[in-house]
Chain A
Amino acid sequence: MTTDQILPSSFRDPSGFLFWRDGALYRQVNHSYREDYDLLVSSGLYDRLVQEGLLIPHEEVDLREPAAPGMYRTLRPERVPFISYPYEWSFSQLKDAALSTLRIQRIALDHGMSLKDASAYNIQFLHGRPLLIDTLSFERYREGTPWIAYRQFCQHFLAPLALMSYVDPRLGQLSRLHIDGVPLSLASQLLPWSTRWRFSLLTHIHLHARGEKRFADRPAAVAGRSISRTALAALIENLQSSVEGLRFRSDSSAWTEYYQTSNYTSEALQHKATLVAQLIAEIEPAPRSLWDLGANTGRFSRLASRKGIETIAFDNDPACVEQCYLEARREGETHLLPLLVDLTNPSPGVGWAHEERMSLLERGPADAAMALALVHHLAIGNNVPLGGIAAFLSRLCRWLIIEFVPKTDSQVQRLLASRKDIFADYTQEAFEAEFCRHFDICRTAPIEDSQRTLYLMRSRERP
């Protein structure tokens, strides 16, 4: 008797669903999707997209017991090491995901198929590049039919990108509030009036929002409308040039220049890097996944990712994550995924029944985590007691490399410059005592030419 666990996010499309069985992830293709699935394969579209790295590869498997009635095929897709969400992506990550979606749609049309959805959640980063993970997103293209996913594309991609580009990169967080993409009426209101001079934004956002409002209660108005193949191709091409034309604009971030302005001497910085590399190498067995918490632009994350460890570089500054991603893309790094996460308010479980999109903790634990120059921000910048930090970190990793920054350090002094020091308990002794409740300290290493100390710790709760 097998116990299957159907993924809570896999309920919208009746074509099939994802499920776990015996530690493996499968996708059931239902009989209702048979024709489209067969066409995906027979038209050569599947091969072409997999070859271009735009679609998750899978193998067809023969499970004796289907997970649910109506099974036509069962697929075992390649595993994505870490599922991330659009509200955790930087501007260019979302932009690349949008361009991949449009490229997939163009190739699909050439093969007589069309994307029936354009959800940003169907895109994931694998080996550093965005690709479609929903094999059941295609349907036969029928001459004259419009692109059914046009609105979803605008809500999931174009609207947040335009807002991040023209208003503020932090508005990418709107996707966390609106699980089916940013409502176009909201985007239209928030965008500067001058964006109406751009044909693409005038039509796909502003006019689109007005059209939605005007025809909201008039379903009969669309019966029997048609759109030529040329017009559809022109629409996709225009969406592509619209997305390509959007740029990341941000004032210089305080954090992207951190290493130039901090009190680290170059010797201390170099010694810290050497120590971190040593501590990573000491972890036994070698970690397969590592979360760098407060990674800045990923300088130390790369010590892990370049050793082949699947590394996530979390930071709460959009400019840092953007810079980290652009560098990773430029260098063709395949084991580093930069993500925008504020650890004082990490991604919660959202969507239907709180289960559609996982919280950060649900996506762990990682084999190892790094918290370099982070504790003082949580303890003093956000008033979290040291015990609370230790308890939280013990929930998300098995091994921990952590840096303690004492109160005398100029970075801590900066945090205390404009406030009363209410942190009598913020001492190295208290830090060790609190962390020893959840971790065993395996090694302590002071950083030369600084007052800071690095620790390698092993979780007691997650051996």
Chain B
Amino acid sequence: MSRLQSIASSFFVCACVLLAFPPPAYAYLDPGTGSLIVQLLVAGLLGVALTIRLFWRRIRAGVALLFRREKLPRVDRESHDH
């Protein structure tokens, strides 16, 4: 993922955070404020990355069909751990 994408994703996640107001979770375990915020940011980033990746695969598949290749292009195996 490029740095630009990372920054864009971060802004997107922050926006989501500010807009969403679900009921708070109660548990016997203290999840920790800082930990929850980090989870939100990281999961948001990873979620956006996943969405982009799926979307990108569809575009590539579409382009491949457009040019009527005999075989679909090989989809690179991408690691989630950059």
Give the B-binding residues of A (Cβ under 8 A). Answer: 12-15, 116-117, 139, 142-152, 154, 198-200, 203-204, 207-208, 210-216, 218-219, 221-228, 230-235, 237-238, 241-242, 245
Contact = CB atoms under 8 A, between A and B. Distances in A.
Interface string B18-58: 00111111011101111111111111111111110000000
Given A227-B40, A235-B43, A152 B29 contact: yes
B33 A231 contact: no
Interface residues of B, number: 36
B47 A230 contact: yes
A144 B22 contact: yes
Nearest to B32: A151
A195 to B, nearest CB: 12
Contact of A238 (B23, B33, B81): B81
Given A144-B20, A226-B22, A241-B79, A213 B29 contact: no
Contacts of A147: 39
A199 B31 contact: no
B47 A216 contact: no
B38 A234 contact: no
A234 B80 contact: yes
Nearest to B38: A211
B71 to A, nearest CB: 28
B16 interface: yes
B68 interface: no
Contacts of B17: 225-226
B37 A234 contact: no
Contacts of B3: none
B43 A223 contact: no
B23 to A, nearest CB: 8
Contact of B42 (A145, A207, A222, A241): A207
Contacts of A145: 22, 25
Contact of A151 (B25, B35, B40, B47): B35
B47 A148 contact: no
Contacts of A225: 17, 20, 22, 36-37, 40
A211 B37 CA distance: 7
A234 B47 contact: yes
Contact of A227 (B28, B32, B39): B39
Interface string B67-82: 0000000000001111
A116 B39 contact: no
18 contacts: A116-B28, A142-B22, A143-B22, A146-B25, A146-B40, A150-B36, A203-B42, A212-B38, A214-B34, A215-B33, A218-B33, A221-B37, A223-B24, A225-B20, A225-B37, A226-B16, A228-B47, A234-B46
Nearest to B22: A144
A12 B24 contact: no
A149 B46 CA distance: 18
